Amino acid sequence: MENEFILKGFEFVNIRDIDHITLTVTDIARSLRFYHEVFDLPIVTFEGDRQAVLVGKQKINFETVAAPHQPAAATPTPGSADLCLIAKDNLDDIQHHLKSYFVDIVEGPVERTGAHGQLTSLYVRDPDNNLIEISNYR
């Protein structure tokens, strides 16, 4: 009964993946530099002069409150995102790498649950204070 409104005359949408997310930041160049240098994510250019970083088959777009790409989030706010990146490297090595870039570890390593099972995670913040979880599946 509770899902009755969903089932009447509607086809289900087959969502398969996430293509991109957009982070609202205060300085796009600074964010690109951070994600590229600290996390070794390649920078791509699209739609003329917009830039993003690739994360596997997905990308992270960046925009500012002053110049959002339309349509934009209803309340774009720097520092409000929380995302998890899956790493191939050992978290001990990643921890040393982060320290070499003067990136503080907020928490970790700690045990968490991801979309596909148990994770071991480190938490850091990007230059706009977005929470970035860096994880390995166990």
Report in angstroms the alpha-carbon separations of 127 from 70, 73, 75.
24, 20, 19
Alpha-carbon gap, residue 59 to 62, rounded angstroms? 10
Active site residue 37: no
Among the listed residues 2, 11, 111, 133, the single catalytic one is 133
| End-to-end CA gap in the chain | 39
Catalytic residues: 133
